[in-house]
Amino acid sequence: MNDPKVQNTPASADDVAFFQEIEGLQGKRPMLVLPEGLTAEDVVALSMIAAERARQITAKGFTPAHDDAQGPSNLEMAGGEYLVHAGSGEVNRQLFSPGHPSAEWPWPSEFWKPKSPMRDGVKGCALGVAGIAARLRRGEPVEG
């Protein structure tokens, strides 16, 4: 395997074969291979997160280059804030209404746009995906 991100990671023979198959897809649109054990609701949730991530890129213009300029943890911090907000009770949801984020929010307050617990959870996970993708582009090793 020629990918230094993968070389630093201990891998089983199955992992090596999987990454070689993925490398063969370069320039093509790879499929997401889901492991066994997921429920139908898990798959729907993952699809919702993927759709939100695609929307962030295509509709909002938050491209990988844009994400890479956000700093090493701001995407994950923002995602975490949305996830906390999704799990908060109504009092906290009112306290941290649109435009009024917590002190942990990494960007200007006008970018804090919570909607509903479900929507905030999806948005938070998609921001987490963006953060992980940025780490992969920086060459951080994948750990098991």
Task: Judge contact between 102 and 96, C-beta under 8 A.
Answer: yes
pTM confidence score: 0.78
CA nearest 79: which of 39, 139, 37, 133? 133
List, for residues 65-88, the tens digit of each pLDDT value: 999 999 889 999 999 999 999 999
CA atoms within a 13 Å half-sphere pointing along the CA-CB vector of 95: 9
Residue 2 banded pLDDT, cuts 50, 70, 90: very low
Residue 15 tokens, joined: 């992992």
Alpha carbon 137 to its chain centroid, in Å, reads: 13
Q: What sign for the dihedral angle of Cα 40, 128, 61, 136? A: negative
Give the type of residue at 48: M
